[in-house]
Amino acid sequence: MLKAVLFDMDGVLVDTEELTFRAAQKMFEEHGIAVTQEDFRPYIGTGENSYVGNVARKYGFPVDIERDKKRMYTLFGMLARGQLNALPGVRNFINLCRGKKLKLAVATSADDIKMKINLRETGLEVSTFDVLVNGQEVVHKKAAP
C-alpha cells in the first residue's frame, strides 16, 4: 500500500534550468568569464558544487565555491522573483495525495537556499511537505547517491 510520495525538485515540481544557468552565467561574467549553456549541461542535477565547480575548472577559474554559490543564489533569487510556477498538474496531484493521507517529501540535489526560493516562488509552502531533503544533507549526489 502506497504511504508516501517523493518529489524531485527540478523537472518535477518546477523548471529552473534556464534561471539557474542565467544566474551562474552572470556570476561568472562578474569574474570576466564568458560561459555557455553547453558548459553546464553535463552537471545539471548534480548539485551546485559540481555545477559551478566543474565549469570553473574548465575555464581555469580558482572558484571559491561558498562565495561563488552564494552570489549565484543571490542572482537566482532576483531572477526567480515572480518568474517561477509549479509545473502543470503539480498542485492537483499534491491535493490528491493529501486527500489520500499520503506523506509528501521533496528530495533535491540543490542547496537549501535554492530549494526554499523555488518553493516560495512557486507558492508551494514548505509546510506542504512532511520532509525536505536538500543537497547539503547528502554526501554523494547524482549520479551515485
> Could you give the CA distance from residue 122 to residue 133 in angstroms, rounded to a whole number?
18
39 classed as catalytic: no
130 classed as catalytic: no
Residue with cell 552537471: 43
- Pick left, alpha or beta for residue 11 (phi over 0 → left; psi -120 to 50 → alpha; otherwise beta): left
Active-site choice (10, 39, 68, 111): 10
How many alpha carbons lie under 13 Å from residue 34 in its C-beta half-sphere? 0
> Could you give the CA distance from residue 10 to residue 122 in angstroms, rounded to a whole number?
12
| Residue among 145, 137, 23, 117 at smallest CA distance from 79 | 23
Q: Which residues are catalytic?
A: 8, 10
